[in-house]
Amino acid sequence: MNITVKLFFLALFALLWAGCATPPPYVQSTGVDSSPGRPTVYEDVNSPGQVAGIGLESQDLASMTDAMVGDMLATPVLANRKISPRIIIDSEYFRNESSTRINKNIITDRLRVNLNRASQGRMVFVGRHYSDMVEKERELKRTKQGAEGATVVDAGTLEKTKSTYGGDFRLGGRITTLDAVNTVSGLASRTHQIIYEMVDLETGEIVWSGIYDFKKTARDDIIYR
Amino acid sequence: MKGMMKTGFMTIFAGLFFVGCATTDPCVNILQEKPLAPGIAMNSVTIIDTSLYYEMVGATYCDGVRIAAPTTAEAAAQQGTVARYKVTVEKTDSSRTPTGTMEVLTILRNHTNFPLQIEGRTQFFDRNKSPVEGMSAWQRVQLPPKSIGTYKIASTKRDEVEFFHIEIREGR
């Protein structure tokens, strides 16, 4: 093979090897490299994570409680009274009748905390789930002992009250689901319906209601626990 | 034989150079992604997913240097802004609830022939255009084919809320 042919193949190879130096697809026209980095361990609670199924998940919890807080604060009977109503929000009357395993407190706690922070005194929250703690302390403040009749602990700095707060309204609610499974494809579908009701503790009237529902379909291979 | 080889080699070599990588053509008009405008446009909606809404603007490059680009919306319209979209904002509005909180809504239209899920979230601002409460959680809205859907949310703060900004993304 003479030198010309060698040169020909060498040039051809060099040209093919160099190719057209187009930038990688993740480099934008602005020059910003937007290629994905190492996945983080932490995930956004407002978005579905890597482990997602058909149950009630963090993003549902966040958007559901957010919507309910906004709605309750826009309801005059709860958020625009001359005297701020006393409200009890806990999981005592919030029932889970669904096929999703969930700790109900994660819903009612988030609701109570967000409402308490946002209402700025427009609502007063009674910690009924802490009532035994309050009662124990009140008893210690009032129980006298010894010959001098001193109480076990002093009165503290707050004014003494005859009794603790009674509630005006209490949250009730229910989580229910509709399930369907395709035995051929293995796909499962679950519709969640979560209702919230604020009940007048004197008359039993439901003064506010909220509903949140969603349907998810996926291969049911996620275990909620 | 040697002459033919030489001629062939030169022809192929010249042809390869001629075809080459066409990136050095001076004064080429190309479309490029329209970057988000700096700052926050109060009382507006931004579709942040390029899969839902995508705008490109024309620009002229000479030897890799951008020499002309539209600087105003009118100029962009004249020079040809190309928008590819699945969803558009039909209406945005806000009102006061009976308790004084602000309720905002935006109506979105699905231009496709298939159902879409979008998510919206809102940041409320005070009169100084500072956030008055945390960003709301993403709320999902179902958009049937060729139809509309409404994203609606209320603030938790009352009179201090003056402005809002809504972000829309594709449902995840």
- Cα nearest neighbour of B172 on chain A: A48
Once rounded to an integer, what is the mean pLDDT over residues B43-47? 93
Average pLDDT, chain A: 89
Sign for the pseudo-dihedral over CA of B80, B83, B88, B94:
negative
Whether B29 and chain A come into contact, CB under 8 Å, resolves to no
- Which of A89-103, A109-123, B17-31, B141-155 comes out lowest in average pLDDT? B17-31
pLDDT at A11: 78
Residues B136, A70: C-beta atoms closer than 8 Å: yes
Give A93's pLDDT tier (boundaries 50, 70, 90): very high
Best A29, A81, A117 member to test B by mutation, with max B CBs in 10 Å, is A29
Rounded to 10°, the helix A58-73/A105-119 angle is 40
The Cα–Cα gap between B43 and B122 comes to: 10
* Minimal C-alpha gap between A58 and chain B (Å): 11
Which pLDDT score, from 0 to 100, does residue B25 have? 59
- pLDDT, tens digit, for every residue of A6-43? 888 887 777 667 655 555 666 666 777 777 777 778 88
Among A20, A29, A66, whose Cβ lies nearest the Cβ of B137? A66
Tokens coding B26: 């001076």
B121 interface with A at CB cutoff 8 Å: yes
Measuring CA to CA, which residue among B58, B65, B63, B71 is closest to residue B30?
B58
Spell out the residues 6+ positions from residue A97 whose beta carbon is closer than 8 angstroms to its own.
A174, A175, A176
- Tell whether B155 is within 8 A of chain A (Cβ): yes
B65 Cβ partners below 8 Å, 6+ apart?
Answer: none
Share of chain B above pLDDT 70, in %: 76
* CA of A129 vs chain B CAs: smallest distance (Å): 25
What residues pair up with B116 in beta bridges, in sequence order?
A: B143
Share of chain A above pLDDT 70, in %: 92
Q: Which amino acid is at B14?
A: A
What is the percent of chain B where pLDDT is above 90? 52
Which pLDDT value is given to residue B24?
A: 56
Determine the pLDDT at residue A109.
96
Indicate the SS3 state at residue B77.
helix
Residue A117: its pLDDT value, please?
A: 93
pLDDT at A16: 67
Cβ count near A41 (within 10 Å): 5
Q: Report residue B35's pLDDT band, with 50, 70 and 90 as the boundaries.
A: confident
CB B136 within 8 A of CB B15: no
Six-digit token string for B111:
């231009």
- The answer to whether the CB atoms of B157 and A118 lie below 8 A apart is yes
Rounded Cα gap, residues B5 and A94, in angstroms: 89
Residue B121 and residue B48 in contact, taking contact as beta carbons nearer than 8 Å:
no
Written in H, E and C, the secondary structure of A99-156 is CCCCCCHHHHHHHHHHHHHHHCCCCEECCHHHHHHHHHHHHHHHCEECCCCEECCCCC
Q: How far is B102 from chain A, CA to nearest CA, in Å? A: 9
* CA A11 vs CA A3, A179, A191, B17: distances in Å: 12, 67, 65, 11
CB contact under 8 A, A63 and B103: no
ipTM at complex level: 0.73
Return phi, psi of residue A152, to 5°.
Answer: -60, -50
The stretch A205-210 carries a mean pLDDT of 97
Comparing B50 with B122, which gets the higher pLDDT?
B122
Q: How far apart are CA A137 and CA A150, in angstroms?
A: 15
pLDDT given for residue A70 in this prediction:
94
E strand or H helix at B33, and its extent?
Answer: strand B28-33
Amino acid sitting at position B152: K
Q: What is the pTM assigned to this prediction?
A: 0.75
Taking 3-state DSSP, the helix, strand and coil percentages for chain B, each rounded to the nearest 5, stand at 15, 45, 40
Rounded average pLDDT over A156-171: 94
- Residue B163's SS3 state is strand
Express each pLDDT in A116-160 by its tens digit: 999 989 999 999 999 999 999 999 999 888 777 888 888 889 999
Helix (H) or strand (E) holding A173: strand A169-181
**Residue A80 above 60 pLDDT?**
yes
Confidence class for position A168, pLDDT limits 50, 70, 90: very high
* Interface residue B1 vs chain A (CB under 8 A): no
For B69-127, write each residue's pLDDT tens digit. 655 656 655 556 778 899 999 999 999 999 999 999 999 999 999 999 999 999 999 99
